[in-house]
């Protein structure tokens, strides 16, 4: 099952709107097939594992399958996986977690059982499996992607000095993990101020990291504390060979545009802008805007914009999106109740003043602060990676 | 040596201006005596360990001593420890670390060697031993105590909401550790605003903690990450049976005084005030001030006040002091370059707005942020205790 989970992780970022799943087939104590979910519209993990076994000439009758998520039993773009499992003659299916959709949950298990297959839910792996499908669960239940708020901050909670300087807060080791994270999400979002100040590329760039970074991650035995987070462990320790650049979103019309912005170098981006703001910018003679991918909305404030973006991404089937700052963007998602996971790289330094990671939002009462659950932490060199969720595993 | 270090820790907070030291005497594989530094003017650890062995009738000739710090070789309020060791007939002395004072360092070792005693510095224990004498080192070298800045903050770096509400950020488990910390320092410092808003007692109160807190700390196997910090480990896991309440300092004249302030319940406190501020408050008819312990200064701003307090405490022989907030006090010590150790309890919550742990100080360049070293972290229930120093062990 651990291998099935590792395969599931390796497919994250490549399967939306389907969940990333891993499947392993075992017969007579040997692995005879394995597979992970393919891109949308292609075969799921179970079918790929069966195909993999068949390709090596294995006889599947009497074999056992380990799969990170309950197999589907409905016709979508592909036939149901339960059917393929039954046809293959597999006699036992071990599942890490049931489907998160209450209307579907258990039906795949039932279909297998009705066909005489033994089914076992391995609850020891449910937590790890859940860490990998949090995005799928959010999309299925709320029609919006799961929001990971990533920030690099000083120990005193600043993401930049009072002059806006933020280069660099965290180390190149932490930035390498940020690039790995980008490979695992379907979209990245920045606020217009971050576009203006940083002129970011928002792509997956492992080539930026020196040899010493790769060496560190291949050799380091990380000391994880707190909630045992499979996603986090895989993120730090596994190689990412297969990935694509996520969709890039800019929230709001930037007041200035950089020449040759890498963010606009191909069509894989959207600027989400208020219609009046856009018209005003066009009237000001900013003709460059005519060449850009801009989606206009009628919503007026940042909080409403955050909801608009999530609904737009939900319609596109995005499972996971990551906020890449700044404070205004973070605060708008915080205000609209749409932060699901916090990944803060806390650097060993004190800024003293500057821009806080969240600003001008929240309650006047400390008892009403947003509570975080399933806290884990790990030191990456001298940066502390703090990971937590706004919902606990056991209260989902 | 580990036992000697444990004894040294147990004496922290009770020995100033002397360093807290532990000594253990071993003969034929058995411990025959042990001792820790007594209150100022009484016997040091080495002499107490020798007396302990003699009290049980042991013959010390040919015995071996383990001591957490190089024995002294000068006459102070008590005769030199080297003399007692030589007289006792001890044949080998194992030392965890040399005296931090470069003018004294090595002279104790030399005196022992000159008497024909074998001396060995156990460098594997030097780091742990150093964690216990950082305060002594600071006082000896700079005539000022070592400053521990302790705060409870939300993940987004806030110590209170915008309305000033801070109850409670961290859990009762973290607050228990804060009380243990108080037992380990010679003085506690709060700003006048913290006096006004919190009316604190600033004493060591283990009785506030419920049975479940004691149970948790007696059973929990803590997962420490990063720098292997002996002080931190002992703080979390050892029982503190012998302690005294530290001196309580209020920086500045409060604008209002609470009736029956627990902070002023006995004479063990000082309000440090600018002379003009005091005269103004007296002129305003605040006669209550006449009954209080007030030390006046001519210094005019908070940063100068922080230096004044440290010099005053240095003259009193304080080794370690702890800042208990708020933001103004933290910032004044930060500005004057007098934060030595950061102990931040990071609670799993997001405030969104509020008061930052440091305010209106520091550089406009992130590259000039104050760097922290020897970072360790540990989860105490769901609060993360982050510990770091402004100087690294290996650059002292």
pLDDT given at position B288? 83
Q: Is the pLDDT of residue B395 over 70?
A: no
Sheet holding A118-121, edge to edge: A30-36, A22-27, A64-67, A92-95, A118-121
Of A239, A232, A237, which Cα lies nearest the Cα of A386?
A: A232
User: A385: distance to nearest CA of chain B, Å?
Assistant: 11
pLDDT given at position B47? 97
Q: Is the pLDDT of residue A300 over 90?
A: no
Q: What is the mean pLDDT of residues B295-320?
A: 95
pTM of the full structure: 0.96
Confidence of residue A288 (pLDDT cuts 50, 70, 90): confident
Question: Which of A:230-269 have CB within 8 Å of B?
Answer: none
Q: How far is CA B38 from the centre of its chain?
A: 17
Q: For residue range B1-59, what is the model confidence (pLDDT) as tens digits?
A: 999 999 999 999 999 999 999 999 999 999 999 999 999 999 999 999 999 999 999 99
Q: Do A371 and B378 touch (CB under 8 A)?
A: no
CA–CA distance, B16 with B30 (Å, rounded to integer)? 31
User: A248: distance to nearest CA of chain B, Å?
Assistant: 25
Choosing from B46, B64, B70, B234, which is the catalytic residue?
B46
| In B176-263, beta strands by DSSP E | 187-191, 225-226, 247-251
Of B79, B18, B9, B17, which Cα lies nearest the Cα of B50?
A: B79
Q: How far is CA B365 from the centre of its chain?
A: 31
Tell me how far CA of residue B231 lies from CA of A242, B155, B376, in angstroms. 45, 24, 11
Q: A168 contacts in B (CB within 8 Å)?
A: 366
Q: B366 contacts in A (CB within 8 Å)?
A: 160-161, 165-169, 351
CA–CA distance, B396 with B381 (Å, rounded to integer)? 33
Q: Do B156 and A388 touch (CB under 8 A)?
A: no
pLDDT given at position A396? 57
pLDDT given at position B353? 93
pLDDT given at position A72? 92
Q: Is the pLDDT of residue A395 over 80?
A: no
Q: A363 contacts in B (CB within 8 Å)?
A: 161, 351-352
CA–CA distance, B223 with A223 (Å, rounded to integer)? 8
Of B187, B134, B184, which Cα lies nearest the Cα of B10?
A: B184
Q: A350 contacts in B (CB within 8 Å)?
A: 334, 339, 342, 358, 362, 369-370, 372
Q: Do A364 and B225 touch (CB under 8 A)?
A: no
Q: What is the mean pLDDT of residues A368-372?
A: 97
Q: Do B350 and A331 touch (CB under 8 A)?
A: no
Question: Which of B:312-331 have CB within 8 Å of A?
Answer: 331
Q: Is B46 a catalytic residue?
A: yes
Report, as residue numbers or ranges, the catalytic residues of A.
Answer: 46
Confidence of residue B289 (pLDDT cuts 50, 70, 90): confident
CA–CA distance, B107 with B80 (Å, rounded to integer)? 11
pLDDT given at position B360? 87
CA–CA distance, A281 with B202 (Å, rounded to integer)? 58
CA–CA distance, B362 with A353 (Å, rounded to integer)? 6
Q: Is the pLDDT of residue A78 over 90?
A: no
| DSSP result, B76-120 | SSS--HHHHHHHHT--EEEESS--S-TTTTTHHHHHHHHTT-EEE
Q: Do B351 and A369 touch (CB under 8 A)?
A: yes
Which residue of B lies nearest to A390 if distances are taken between CA atoms?
Answer: B349
Q: For residue range B72-126, what is the model confidence (pLDDT) as tens digits?
A: 998 888 889 999 999 999 999 999 999 998 888 999 999 999 999 999 999 999 9
Q: What is the mean pLDDT of residues B353-378?
A: 95
Average pLDDT, rounded, for chain B: 95
Which residue of A lies nearest to B344 if distances are taken between CA atoms?
Answer: A155
Total H helices, total E strands in chain A: 12, 19
pLDDT given at position B396? 57
Q: For residue range A199-240, what is the model confidence (pLDDT) as tens digits?
A: 999 999 998 899 999 999 999 999 999 999 999 999 999 999
Q: B350 contacts in A (CB within 8 Å)?
A: 334, 339, 342, 358, 362, 369-370, 372
Q: Is the pLDDT of residue A5 over 70?
A: yes
Q: Do A366 and B167 touch (CB under 8 A)?
A: yes
Q: Is the ipTM of this complex over 0.90?
A: yes
Determine contact: A157 vs chain B, CB below 8 A: yes
Contact present, B100 and B18 (Cβ < 8 Å): no
Q: For residue range B213-227, what is the model confidence (pLDDT) as tens digits?
A: 999 999 999 999 999
Q: A226 contacts in B (CB within 8 Å)?
A: 223, 379, 382
pLDDT given at position B393? 85
Determine contact: B392 vs chain A, CB below 8 A: no
Determine contact: A391 vs chain B, CB below 8 A: no
Query: Of the candidates A158, A349, A372, which has its C-beta nearest B155's C-beta?
Result: A372
Determine contact: A380 vs chain B, CB below 8 A: no
CA–CA distance, B396 with B383 (Å, rounded to integer)? 30
User: A156: distance to nearest CA of chain B, Å?
Assistant: 5
CA–CA distance, A319 with A332 (Å, rounded to integer)? 20
Contact present, B113 and B287 (Cβ < 8 Å): no
Q: For residue range A83-101, what is the model confidence (pLDDT) as tens digits?
A: 999 999 999 999 999 999 8
Q: Do A360 and B370 touch (CB under 8 A)?
A: no
Quick one: CA torsion of B180, B183, B187, B190, rounded to 10 degrees?
A: 30
Q: What is the mean pLDDT of residues A65-79?
A: 92
Which residue of A lies nearest to B227 if distances are taken between CA atoms?
Answer: A382
Average pLDDT, rounded, for chain A: 95
Q: B302 contacts in A (CB within 8 Å)?
A: none
Determine contact: B381 vs chain A, CB below 8 A: no
Q: Do A157 and B161 touch (CB under 8 A)?
A: no
């Amino acid at each position: 099952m651990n291998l099935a989970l590792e395969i599931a992780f390796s497919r994250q970022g490549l399967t939306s709107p389907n969940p990333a799943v891993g499947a392993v087939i075992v017969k007579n104590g040997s692995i005879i097939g394995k597979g992970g979910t393919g891109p949308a519209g292609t075969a799921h993990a179970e079918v790929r594992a069966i195909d993999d076994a068949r390709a090596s000439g294995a006889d599947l009758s009497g074999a056992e399958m380990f799969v990170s998520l309950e197999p589907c039993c409905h016709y979508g773009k592909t036939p149901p996986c339960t059917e393929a499992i039954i046809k293959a003659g597999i006699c036992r299916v071990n599942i890490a977690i049931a489907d998160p959709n209450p209307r579907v949950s258990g039906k795949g298990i039932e279909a297998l059982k009705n066909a005489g297959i033994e089914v076992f839910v391995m609850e020891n792996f449910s937590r790890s499996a859940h860490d990998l499908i949090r995005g799928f669960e959010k999309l299925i239940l709320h029609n919006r992607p799961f929001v990971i708020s990533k920030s690099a901050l000083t120990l005193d909670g600043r993401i930049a000095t009072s002059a806006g300087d933020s280069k660099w807060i965290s180390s190149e080791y932490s930035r390498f993990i940020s690039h790995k994270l980008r490979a695992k999400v379907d979209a990245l979002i920045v606020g217009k101020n971050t576009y203006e100040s940083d002129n970011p590329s928002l792509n997956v760039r492992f080539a930026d990291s020196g040899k010493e970074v790769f060496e560190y991650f291949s050799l380091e035995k990380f000391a994880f504390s707190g909630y045992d987070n499979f996603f986090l462990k895989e993120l730090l320790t596994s190689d990412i060979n297969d990935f694509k650049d996520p969709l890039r979103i800019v929230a709001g019309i930037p007041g200035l545009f950089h020449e040759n912005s890498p963010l606009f170098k191909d069509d894989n981006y959207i600027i989400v802008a208020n219609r009046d703001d856009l018209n005003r910018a066009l009237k000001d003679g900013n003709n460059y805007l005519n060449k850009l991918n801009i989606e206009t909305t009628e919503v007026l404030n940042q909080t409403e914009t955050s909801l608009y973006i999530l609904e737009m991404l939900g319609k596109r089937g995005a499972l996971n999106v990551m906020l890449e700052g700044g404070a205004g963007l973070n605060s708008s998602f915080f205000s609209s109740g749409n932060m699901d996971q916090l990944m803060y790289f806390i650097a060993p330094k004190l800024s003293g003043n500057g821009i806080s990671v969240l600003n001008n939002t929240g309650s006047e009462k400390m008892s009403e602060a947003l509570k975080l659950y399933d806290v884990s932490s790990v030191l990456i060199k001298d940066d502390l990676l703090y990971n937590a969720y706004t919902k606990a595993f056991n209260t989902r």
